[in-house]
Amino acid sequence: MTADTYDDDVALRAYVLRHFPHLMTPLERRVTEYIAPIVSDAEDSKLLKLHEFLEERDGHVVDADVISAFQTPYDDRIANAVDRVLETRRGELIENRCSQCQRLARTPVAKQCLWCGHDWH
Ligand SMILES: [Zn+2]
């Protein structure tokens, strides 16, 4: 995406996914961060460690819910999770917008606009 092709909806969705995954539910995080289901009965010890880490970080997620969510394609899982965050937790987003062009900055703490070059340091 360039300044000419900037699409606020696309930019906002990518921004939520990159900077506000903590606004997702534990299940949403579990099924959007990985392309394979991370469940408690994994045979690979690395996956078991990862499962342990995720349970600790996000809270418990039922294996059956993870498996069931994987019936939905990856891109749709992401779109659904981002939709829910935008619909129910929009107030918790820090939308760092440029005061000149109103486009979203690259990060919540950026002080320069990627799109028009405006600098607010
Ligand atoms: Zn700008």
Q: How many CB atoms lie within 10 A of CB 16?
A: 22
**Mean pLDDT, rounded, for 36-58:** 94
C-alpha of residue 9 to centroid of ligand 1, in Å: 16
> Both tokens of residue 107?
């990060």
- Whether 43 shows a pLDDT value over 90: the answer reads no
Tell whether 112 is covered by a domain. no
C-alpha of residue 120 to centroid of ligand 1, in Å: 10
pLDDT tens digits along 7-42 = 999 999 999 999 999 999 999 999 999 999 999 998
Tell whether 117 is covered by a domain. no
C-alpha of residue 20 to centroid of ligand 1, in Å: 21
Contact 32, 69 (CB under 8 A): no
Tell whether 13 is covered by a domain. no
Which pLDDT value is given to residue 39? 96
**Mean pLDDT, rounded, for 90-110:** 96
Domain around 54: 21-92
Contact 32, 73 (CB under 8 A): no
C-alpha of residue 44 to centroid of ligand 1, in Å: 47
Split into its structural domains, the chain has a count of 1
Which pLDDT value is given to residue 24? 97
Going by C-alpha positions, the residue among 15, 33, 9 that lies closest to residue 109 is 15
Round to whole Å and give the CA distance between 47 and 19.
Answer: 25
Which residues are within 8 A (CB) of 4 and not within 5 positions of it... i.e. 6 or more apart?
none
Tell whether 69 is covered by a domain. yes
Ion ligand 1 neighbours (CB, 5 A) are: 98, 100-101, 113, 115-116, 118
pLDDT tens digits along 61-89 = 999 999 999 999 999 999 999 999 999 99
